[in-house]
Structure 1
């Protein structure tokens, strides 16, 4: 009897299903406060905020004092459980947490927002999903509202970071060895039907801007202060 071996399909939902910690370079209270302060600078206040992909709430709890109402969304129940503990610890009353993904979140919302923030999430979406997200999000923005995609991985800069380019101890002769190691990891990941890097996909600013303009948004570009290979894309409606 002839049998056909089928690989199980990888999904980021499954990967994060039991995770309980967000991925930050530094997870100390001081460093998270600084990272949140940078993002709050770009968000520029107002009253209501949708934090899509809030994870364990590491940044969300720093946003709360600056808004009248915040809704945090994530597709990982274990992550939301951790976020809920943080919200209760700080005794915040102006936060709602919703279990949903980029497809189901919209049917669970009953209000519009001044700001929609998406931090470290674009890397887990396909270009088509990014397109759909912007299209759907635009219907839930108040007048002059903005969508802030934070910490998008820049493919060119990430490649340089991966080989240690930004390290103070960078040695040029190590480039070949690092490149070979990276190729072997990609081949292994392909054979095992898993991502070559659990950090996710990378998108150039030009790709994000093209998708944004297709949906009637203009994009403001800003480099991340804490990750050499990441950037922020602040989207506002073209007037």
Structure 2
């Protein structure tokens, strides 16, 4: 009796295990500074910050001078190594780095925060994981603290972006070409046991808002300034 060949389970942790750069549109210091300033505007103060999924620290190093204490965490050892190099280069002494994922990070913390943030992280969560993250994060917030989830993929806007809708030279006939290429890529991804889109999952603002409300938060939805198909979710405790 023949055995069925089992495909190994895809792991985002394994995928990012050797990465050294975050998924920013541009890697220039000028662009990263602008992106960080936009996010600092929405973080809107506070003295302590947890940057979950800080990656290689491209934004983290811009946050550190604005806070008394910062914790950066990621599940990629190679990414944290890059973040550590940036921190040592700037000689910052008010930041610690933790190797952890969305389940283990909470056992590594010994303080509460005014702000808990995550950038381009929600796309690697299922709705259930997102609910667990918000629930756990709420236990580590100071009074009047906020959870700010940056650059969540909006499913409607993302598919418009995929077909080039936001491009300055958009042409309608490109829709069919891009749709065909997209189908081919999804088939190849399936054969390679990868997600249909390596960028991860999309979650509508309505879904994120419902999850936030179930956990005692009200959500302000803000369109991302630098990524047409993404939005920010600013979560504040319901009074």
**Distance in 1, Cα, partners of 2:177 & 2:85:** 44
**Distance in 1, Cα, partners of 2:124 & 2:147:** 17
Query: Which moves more between the two structures, 169-178 or 105-114?
Result: 169-178
Give the alignment of 1:90-101 within 5 angstroms. Answer: 90-101=90-101
Q: Structure 1: which 5+ runs fail to align?
A: none
**Distance in 1, Cα, partners of 2:229 & 2:170:** 16
- Partner of residue 140, structure 2: 140
Q: TM-score, structure 1 length as denominator?
A: 0.98
- Partner of residue 27, structure 2: 27
SS of residue in 1 equivalent to 2:197: coil
- Partner of residue 131, structure 2: 131
**Distance in 2, Cα, partners of 1:154 & 1:74:** 23
Aligned residues: 239
**Distance in 2, Cα, partners of 1:56 & 1:75:** 11
Q: Deviations over 1:155-203 (max 9, x none)?
A: 1111000011111111101211211221222222223321122111111
Give the alignment of 1:1-239 within 5 angstroms. Answer: 1-239=1-239
Q: Deviations over 1:118-145 (max 9, x none)?
A: 1000000110000000000000000000
**Distance in 1, Cα, partners of 2:127 & 2:31:** 31
SS of residue in 2 equivalent to 1:78: helix
Ranges of 4+ aligned residues in structure 1 off by more than 2 Å: none
SS of residue in 1 equivalent to 2:173: helix
SS of residue in 2 equivalent to 1:93: coil
Q: Deviations over 1:197-236 (max 9, x none)?
A: 2111111100100100010100001000000000000001
**Distance in 2, Cα, partners of 1:116 & 1:198:** 25
**Distance in 2, Cα, partners of 1:81 & 1:177:** 40
Q: Structure 2: which 5+ runs fail to align?
A: none
Alignment RMSD: 0.8
